[in-house]
């Protein structure tokens, strides 16, 4: 199956756009004197399979973003302290939550880990935790019983109530908040295993549908969205043709690596010929990942505070920042 011809879509700043659009050259200048705190080897360890990132890109894209987030965190903390004083509330720490959304294979994991590393090395040395929404997927047994295995990753495959409860605990300043543990090896939530988050200064929540909204009930009843808990949100964007290509390439690399583990849920894929593996990857993309992208993920892009747009070389070429 051949890939369609790439489109020339990029981010545009129209008269009604809520965003200011920056090319990388302009955006990189906003770094100012923000120091580079990651080594080449650290950056290599942070990147995901088939998602290369260079020191230059960290300097040109992520250091300006880290500087911007520093101002957002400082302003939000100041507002909370002023409000707490006004309301005569007891002092407690409220974590700053960053939401990160985007398609399968867009590079969310790399972006999340790089941001976590950079933010944790601010002079104030904040505690920065990272959680993915994978752990809040329903277990495979539940998905199979409900006929949702082919919809895994779609909004209905997540235990949104549990995710909202977790975010509520974080924003309430509870000392401990727990999230289910997910294993990509077995492609399932690990039974009776959790991840505990303890008093973070900043929490990064990464997932496909974290900017998703739900139907509102009549009568104005409260229906919180996951994004209601975010202080800042990022959407990692790329043309569909490139994301499909990256998914295919990652699938082929996993066929030679993780899929060969006897415990892997996808063990049988390791025996596929390259031609059959390409056909399988394209079929999964067409049946599952593409519909989820077009129906659920991409429509939430405009809800983000910041959009990072990637070109076909995996490099970010444009940044869109929501106007204040």
Mean pLDDT of the 143-159 span: 96
Q: Is residue 3 part of a domain?
A: no
Q: What is d(CA 258, CA 228) in angstroms, rounded to the nearest whole number? A: 36
Tell me, what CATH number does 205's domain have? Answer: 3.40.50.300
Segment 225-253, tens digit of pLDDT = 999 999 999 999 999 999 999 999 999 99
CB 32 within 8 A of CB 67: yes
Q: Is residue 235 part of a domain?
A: yes
Mean pLDDT of the 16-26 span: 91
Read off the pTM: 0.93
Residue 191: give the domain boundaries: 19-212+223-322
Q: What is d(CA 248, CA 230) in angstroms, rounded to the nearest whole number? A: 32
Residue 13: pLDDT band (50, 70, 90) is: low
Q: Which of 22-26, 80-84, 259-263 has the lowest mean pLDDT?
A: 80-84
Q: Is residue 11 part of a domain?
A: no
What's the pLDDT score for residue 141? 97
Q: Is residue 123 part of a domain?
A: yes
The helix (H) or strand (E) run that includes residue 14 is none
Q: Is residue 217 part of a domain?
A: no
Q: Where are the alpha helices (DSSP H) in 36-86?
A: 40-46, 55-57, 63-86
What's the pLDDT score for residue 204? 98
Q: Is residue 259 part of a domain?
A: yes
Q: What's the total number of domains in the chain?
A: 1
Q: Which tokens sit at 250?
A: 């990652």
Segment 175-232, tens digit of pLDDT = 999 999 999 999 999 999 999 999 999 999 999 999 998 777 777 777 789 999 999 9
Q: Is residue 187 part of a domain?
A: yes
> Is residue 86 pLDDT above 50, yes or no?
yes
Q: Which tokens sit at 256?
A: 């030679």
Q: Is residue 9 part of a domain?
A: no
């Amino acid at each position: 199956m051949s890939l369609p011809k790439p489109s020339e879509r990029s981010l545009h700043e129209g008269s009604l756009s809520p965003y200011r659009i920056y090319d990388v050259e302009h955006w990189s200048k906003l770094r100012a004197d923000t120091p580079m705190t990651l080594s080449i080897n650290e950056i290599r360890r942070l990147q995901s399979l088939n998602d290369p990132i260079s020191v230059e890109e960290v300097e040109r894209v992520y250091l300006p973003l880290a500087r911007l987030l520093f101002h957002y965190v400082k302003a939000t903390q100041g507002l909370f302290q002023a409000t707490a004083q006004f309301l005569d509330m007891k002092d407690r720490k409220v974590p700053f939550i960053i939401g990160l959304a985007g398609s399968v294979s867009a590079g969310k994991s790399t972006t999340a880990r790089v941001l976590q590393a950079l933010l944790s090395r601010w002079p104030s040395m904040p505690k920065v935790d990272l959680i993915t929404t994978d752990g809040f997927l329903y277990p495979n047994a539940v998905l199979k019983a409900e006929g949702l295995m082919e919809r895994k990753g779609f909004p209905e495959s997540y235990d949104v109530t549990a995710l909202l409860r977790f975010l509520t605990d974080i924003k309430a300043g509870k000392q401990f908040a727990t999230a289910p543990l997910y294993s990509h090896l077995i492609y399932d939530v690990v039974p009776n295993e959790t991840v505990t988050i303890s008093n973070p200064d900043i929490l990064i929540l990464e997932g496909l549908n974290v900017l998703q909204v739900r139907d509102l009930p009549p009568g104005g009843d409260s229906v919180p969205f996951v994004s209601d808990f975010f202080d800042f949100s990022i959407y990692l964007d790329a043309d569909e043709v490139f994301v499909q290509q990256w998914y295919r390439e990652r699938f082929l690399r996993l066929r030679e690596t993780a899929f060969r583990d006897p415990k892997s849920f996808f063990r049988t894929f390791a025996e596929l010929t390259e031609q059959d593996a390409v056909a399988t990857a394209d079929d999964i993309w067409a049946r599952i990942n593409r519909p989820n992208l077009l129906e659920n993920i991409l429509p939430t892009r405009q809800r983000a505070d910041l959009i990072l747009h990637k070109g076909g070389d995996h490099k970010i070429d444009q940044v869109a920042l929501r106007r204040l």
